[in-house]
Amino acid sequence: MSLNKSYIISVLLLVSSPIASAESLRDPTLPGKGFAVVGHASQAQAQAMVLNSIVSSGNTAYAVINNKILSVGDSIEGQSIVKITPTYVSLSDGRKLTLFQAITER
């Protein structure tokens, strides 16, 4: 009976050892050492505007900027829309948001 106990104990030790070593392995999906999470977006990222599309209906033109439908005189991120053409939108700070050429060629 003591032979069976020692055999069972040795088998249990062998079986449990890979589990112990697997627990010490590092999760490959975790960020590497030195990874830092930035809490606030930089000012350039906060002011980035994307012109998604321009739609004209009669004499009225609408621009979709950052997925919001806007017309001349509306404001987005502190800037007013001054002009909407078929290819670009002018903002009150002098910036022009333009559509990609592939969109305007359709």
Q: What 3-state DSSP class applies to 3?
A: helix
Predicted confidence at residue 42, as pLDDT, reads 47
**Amino acid identity, position 40:** H
Which band of pLDDT confidence, cut at 50, 70 and 90, is reported for residue 19? Answer: low
Percent of the chain scoring above 70 in pLDDT: 62
Instruction: Note the helical H segments in 1-106.
Output: 2-23, 43-46, 101-104
pTM value surpassing 0.75: no
Q: What 3-state DSSP class applies to 46?
A: helix
- Residues 74-101 have pLDDT tens digits of 999 999 999 999 999 999 999 999 987 6
